Structures are given as structure tokens and as C-alpha cells.
Structure 1
Amino acid sequence: MWFRNLCVYQLADGFHLEPESLEEKLQAGAFHPVGGHDPESRGWVAPLVPGGETLVHASGQRLMICLQTETRVLPPAVVNETAETRASEREDAMGRPLGRRERARLKEEITMELLPRAFTRSKRCYAYFDLQGRWLVVDAASWREAETLVEDLRALLGSLPVRPLQTDSAPNQVMTEWLAHDRFPGDVEPGEEAIFEDPRSEGAEIRCKRQDLRSAEMRAHVKAGKRLRRLSLTWDGRLNLVLDADLSVKRLRATDVVQSDAGDREADSAAERFDADFALMGGELGRLLPRIQGWFA
């Protein structure tokens, strides 16, 4: 199982965690299905599916965990339509219009009435500790989503000294310089996708897909004052990814080179396949993340 998106945190040097201790802490916050009148339930589940029994899946110095969220889906339109019907009935019976507070209470009553019959939707958010590299890597499409996992984890552990990946130089400036002078790091090959933004106009952006990023047309955007916010690239011929100026990674994918190096051995079980993928991904990201720091040192 490979992560698709990355939000990366740096662990404080003094932080240490044993798998057994982490397992015990997570058990206190294990997932329970959402209750009939609850809008959402969140808790920790076994990363290995199917057949996982522990909430921590260890591979050497890397510890995989998974946070599951189950949400009741109750469309506002359904609540509003029912509320309007009930409000009309009450107004007819009372001979007067309902006040704003009465309508608000009516909506609350209807919501509590309909919640037990609402469909549920589940979502899993995976993360792993790399205790040797000093990383917490979260498979999340946004920092906001990643922060939910981090805050839940901190609440159980009592202390979690981490901070989002930081660099000395501004990534958008450095990536723009790469493109402006066609001088990319030796292990970076630009892809065919980029997002430029205009720092002088909030919300102004240009999205490029299937474009030669080394072309004069792309450099013209830089000359016009645009800055790169997002850049697709291939690192070391091994990983394809889209790097954002906030240092999050989108659409991570291993190239055929990685798969070839992994060999053709078929895993005998889901657990073996999970272990193999985890070890392979952890090894590749263990090399990539220090390089990202190096690019923007």
C-alpha cells in the first residue's frame, strides 16, 4: 500500500516511541461505529486490512497507524424540506407564524429524528512514524486533514513534539528559479504540470497540464511576475509526484524502476504484501524527504 498524498512532520530529536506503548495508547481511542444520534465517530483501527489485529503495524523503526472516521450523511436539503413542511403544519395549527428560534429548534428536532436513518460514510487516514529519519508522514490531501490525525494522536499520547516540514528558503521562490533558468537539481526532472500564481493579485493563477515546462512559454509566465505554487516532477527516476509550495506532496507514484528493483516475488498473504509495500515505500520516502529539505536549504 502506497500513500497517495503526503503531509510531513518533523519529530523532535528527544521524542521516542515504543510500538507496545503506542499500541496501548491507541487502544484507549479505538474506533467505535457512529451512534444513532451522533453525526460522527472517529478512532483508531488496524492499518492492515483484512486480518489486522493490532493498531500499530511495525516495520523496523517505522510504525504505521490508521485513523477511521465514520460520518452520518444527512443532506441539508432533506432537513430543510422536512422543516418547512412541519413549520407550515404548526403555523396552521397555532394560527401564527413561527419565530426564528422556534424554527431553529424545529430543525434541531428533525435532525435528531432523521440521523439514525441516515447513511454512513467511512474514511481512513493512514500515517507512519519513521523514528530513525525523525518523520511523521500522513497520507492526507490537506494540512487540515493531517492536523485532525495529529491532534487526536497528541490527545492520546499526552505530548507529540512535531512541526510541519520546514525549509530555510521559500519553496515557491526556489522552484520558480529552477524554471526561470532551466537549472533543476540533478535528481529532478520536471513533469508536464504546474500552477503559477500572481503574488500581486489574490486568487489569480494559471494552471498548465501536458505542457513542456522547459519551454519559452512557461518562462514567459515567470518574466511576467508569476510564481510557481505547484510543480510536477520525477525524482531520481524513481518517484513521480506533484510538489506544492506548502511542502505537501500530491499524486505520489512509484515508477517502473522501483517496481523492477522490488522484484517479481509474489506475496503469499495480504500481510506479506502490506509489509513489502510498507518497507519499499518507507525506504524511498526515507531518501526523498531529506532531499526535499536539501532543495530548499
Structure 2
Amino acid sequence: MFKHLIIYRIAPTWAADLAAVEEAIARTPFTPCGATQERSAGWVPPRGEEEGLFAESVGGQWILRFMSESRILPGKVLARRVEEKAAAIERNSGRKPGKKEKQELRDEAKLDLLPMAFTKQGGMWIWIDPSARFLVLDTGSQSRADEVVTLLVDGLPGFAVALLDTQTSPQAAMAHWLTDQDDAQENLYVDHNFTIDQECELKSADESKSVVRYGRHPLDIEEVKQHIQHGKLPTKLALTWDDRVSMLLTDGLQIKKVTFLESVFDGRSDDDGGFDADVAIATGELSRLIPDLIEALGGEGRSPFGAGMPATEGDPQ
């Protein structure tokens, strides 16, 4: 649960109401793709129970589950069927189909093939912290995040969000962390309970777009500093928070490869699992990690929905 994070601030003007969220998203439940349907998307009960609620609260944290399904139709298979149809027309009429007719043949071929295509499903966890006013989506794809946010904004009166913003950009902060290390330190330490791990990507901003990647490699070396001095900037950096959560921070302020470490589970037995326990662990750890990350990046930026910043006239709603 929650392997990748895209984080939003929720507008303070939204009146958080779990029952209203449940009612709104229940209007667009997920149904599998029909025989000739390329894609289907909607909401499912997060507990996995067929008749369960669509919005669950665990310890005051709200959890939703978004599901999509797509039919996988390889482009080469579709192109071959179109050519077969075009060849049949040429044999029967002695003429080659034009551009417009080729498009119509493509549409026909797709309808022929879709019922035979395999389907692929993908789910996404959504976490709403109504007290801290965070919306957190378990995805590394901004386009998928945009789809879910649009559904929530359209379905919930007064609901508005803005991507989390910080005073210091993640890229500038990561460059500083990598170049401003004390050689005497045992670990590469960043403020607010973060340490630097052994994975990093550096990318040149010039036309060459050259990339240097380090994996399972110490980063407290002169070579890394030289790359940064010569214009390559960090786009990804592995961090560990408080010896409890490891993660990969990106220059777009996304958090990827979230892993809860053994210390999180100390004192828990094998019987302490299940949906409620998973939610409590994930939200409990991340609700402390996210504010620490914001502080490590200089505090929140000028987002209209930043902590303590009410939306004003002219702000995007």
C-alpha cells in the first residue's frame, strides 16, 4: 500500500464530509470493460468487499480505491487486420482505399479485435487526510493522478487541490545535500531525520541531455560533486527517513519506491495484518514523513492552499 506518492494540498474552504465523499464516488463505480470497450475506470470498495463502502475511515484517515481496466491491442496486430481489409477491397473492386476509408477500416478492425484482446487492470490507493488537508495518490504517473483529481473535483462540491509546493525545489535541495557533506560523518545526513542512500540520477540541462546513474553505490565521493559542479543536476535521490521508511525523491516532488523498514513492524505479530493495520501503518508513518520532507525543503511554497494559507480571490479553484 502506497509505493509511489503524488501529494496535493486541499483547499481550506472545502467542508470535509466522509458521507458526502462516499455518496459522490458511489455514482461512478468501476465496471469491467465491455466486449468492444477499450478502457473502463471507476471506484471500488477499498476493503475488497463486493458490497463494501467506497470510502473507508481508519483512525480518521480516509481511504479510497480507484480501478481501471484496458484492453491490450498490439499496434502490429491492428495494422495487419487493416491491411487485410484494404487488400480485400482492392481485390474485389480494383481500387486502393483512400485515407478516409483507411481510417474507417481501422475503426472496423478495432471493433473486430477488441473482444479477443486481453485486459489489464490497475488500481490506485487514494488517501485523504481531512485534518492535515493532504490528498495523496499512490501513483508515479501525473496523467493518472490528473484523471483521479478531475473525478474528485467534478464530484465533490467545493473540492479543490493544488500540487504540494516547497520554498526550495527538490532539485536544488538534492544538489545541496550531495555537495555539502562533512567527510567525517558516518552517514550522509540531511536535516529533519533524512539520510542519503546509495541511488541517484544526475542529468545535464544542456542539449546533450546526458545522464549519470548510481545504484548501490556510495554517493559521498568527489565524482558526484564534480558532476554537479559541471552542470548535471539530481533528478532522483534515494533517502531514508528516521530509519523507518526508504524512498526515492524526484525533482518533480514525487516520492517513489516507498518501503517501510523493519523498525516499523517491531513489536507486531503476524496476526496484526489486514486492511486496517496496513492503513494505520502507511498513514501513520507517512503523516509524519511528509511534514519532515516539507521542512527539509525549506517549508511550503506559495501554493494557494499551503498550510495556513487560505484561498484568496483569483486563486485557482
Amino acid of the residue matched to residue 156 of structure 2?
A: L
| TM score, norm. by length of structure 2 | 0.87
Corresponding residue number in structure 2 for 1:266:
271
Equivalent pairs, count? 291
Amino acid of the residue matched to residue 112 of structure 1?
A: L
**SS of the residue aligned with 1:266?**
helix
Could you tell me the percent identity over the aligned residues?
Answer: 28
1:245 matched to 2:251? The reply is yes
Corresponding residue number in structure 2 for 1:231:
237
User: What per-residue deviation string (whole Å, max 9, x for no partner) do you get for residues 36-85 of structure 1?
Assistant: 22211111001113566111111132110011111112222111111111
The CA distance in 1 between the partners of 2:196 and 2:294, in whole Å, is 18
Amino acid of the residue matched to residue 101 of structure 1?
A: K
**SS of the residue aligned with 2:31?**
coil
Amino acid of the residue matched to residue 263 of structure 2?
A: V
Amino acid of the residue matched to residue 230 of structure 1?
A: K
The CA distance in 1 between the partners of 2:261 and 2:17, in whole Å, is 33
The CA distance in 2 between the partners of 1:283 and 1:194, in whole Å, is 27
Change (3 A) 1:52 1:216: farther
> 1:265: how far off?
5.5
Q: Is the 8 A contact 1:66 1:127 kept in 2?
A: yes
> 1:117: how far off?
2.5
The CA distance in 2 between the partners of 1:159 and 1:124, in whole Å, is 26
**Structure 1 unaligned regions, length at least 5:** none
> 1:110: how far off?
1.3
1:147 matched to 2:152? The reply is no
Q: Is the 8 A contact 1:29 1:156 kept in 2?
A: no
Change (3 A) 1:98 1:72: same
1:209 matched to 2:210? The reply is no
Q: Is the 8 A contact 2:192 2:295 kept in 1?
A: no
The CA distance in 1 between the partners of 2:280 and 2:80, in whole Å, is 52
Q: Is the 8 A contact 2:8 2:162 kept in 1?
A: yes
Amino acid of the residue matched to residue 11 of structure 2?
A: A
Change (3 A) 1:139 1:21: same
> 1:203: how far off?
2.8
**SS of the residue aligned with 1:3?**
coil
**SS of the residue aligned with 1:70?**
strand
Question: What aligned pairs does 1:276-287 form with structure 2 within 5 A after superposition?
Answer: 276-287=277-288
Worse-matched range after superposition: 189-198 or 116-125: 116-125
Corresponding residue number in structure 1 for 2:308:
none
Corresponding residue number in structure 2 for 1:294:
295
**SS of the residue aligned with 1:88?**
helix
> 1:173: how far off?
0.8
Q: Is the 8 A contact 1:68 1:123 kept in 2?
A: yes
Question: What aligned pairs does 1:163-242 form with structure 2 within 5 A after superposition?
Answer: 163-182=162-181, 184-185=190-191, 187-201=193-207, 203-242=209-248
Q: Is the 8 A contact 1:242 1:250 kept in 2?
A: yes
Q: Counting helix residues as a fraction of each chain, which structure ranks higher?
A: 1
Q: Is the 8 A contact 1:66 1:125 kept in 2?
A: yes
Amino acid of the residue matched to residue 118 of structure 1?
A: A
| TM score, norm. by length of structure 1 | 0.93
Corresponding residue number in structure 2 for 1:125:
124
The CA distance in 2 between the partners of 1:208 and 1:218, in whole Å, is 9
Amino acid of the residue matched to residue 294 of structure 2?
A: Q
**SS of the residue aligned with 2:266?**
helix
Corresponding residue number in structure 2 for 1:36:
35
Worse-matched range after superposition: 234-243 or 53-62: 53-62
Q: Is the 8 A contact 2:42 2:68 kept in 1?
A: yes
**SS of the residue aligned with 2:271?**
coil
> 1:196: how far off?
0.7
User: What per-residue deviation string (whole Å, max 9, x for no partner) do you get for residues 217-256 of structure 1?
Assistant: 2222122222111100111111100001111011000111
Corresponding residue number in structure 1 for 2:186:
none
Q: CA RMSD in A?
A: 1.6
Q: Is the 8 A contact 2:190 2:296 kept in 1?
A: no
Q: Is the 8 A contact 1:16 1:131 kept in 2?
A: no
Corresponding residue number in structure 1 for 2:303:
none
The CA distance in 1 between the partners of 2:178 and 2:206, in whole Å, is 20
Change (3 A) 1:52 1:164: farther
Change (3 A) 1:244 1:28: same
